Amino acid sequence: MALQLRILGTTSDDGKCPTLYEDATTGDIVVQGYTVSNPEDIAQLANVLDGESFVRIPRELLTRFAPKE
């Protein structure tokens, strides 16, 4: 089943990324940001499963727009 996303907010001045979304069906949060691709950075991540990826987002985006409940 496809996600049903609604925009929670963005800290981008031009409306591109980074952005937070919420799936209306599950309440899950989806983040849009810059891909973490540096091997040294990825090596610091723990418990990485197949199919997972990582994005970098500003702290301000989460503190302003992430659901508080």
For 22-54, b where at least 16 C-beta lie within 10 A, e where not — what string? beeeeeeeebbeeeeeeeeeeeeeeeeeeeeee
Indicate whether 2 pLDDT > 80: yes
Nearest to 56 by CA among 13, 22, 18: 18
Q: Which domain does 49 fall in, by range?
A: 5-65
Q: Provide the pLDDT for residue 62.
A: 87
Q: Provide the pLDDT for residue 5.
A: 96
Indicate whether 69 pLDDT > 80: no
Which tokens belong to 2?
Answer: 């496809």
Number of domains in the chain: 1
Q: Provide the pLDDT for residue 13.
A: 82
pTM: 0.78
| pLDDT digit string, tens, across residues 10-66 | 988 886 789 999 999 999 999 999 999 999 999 999 999 999 999 998 899 888 887
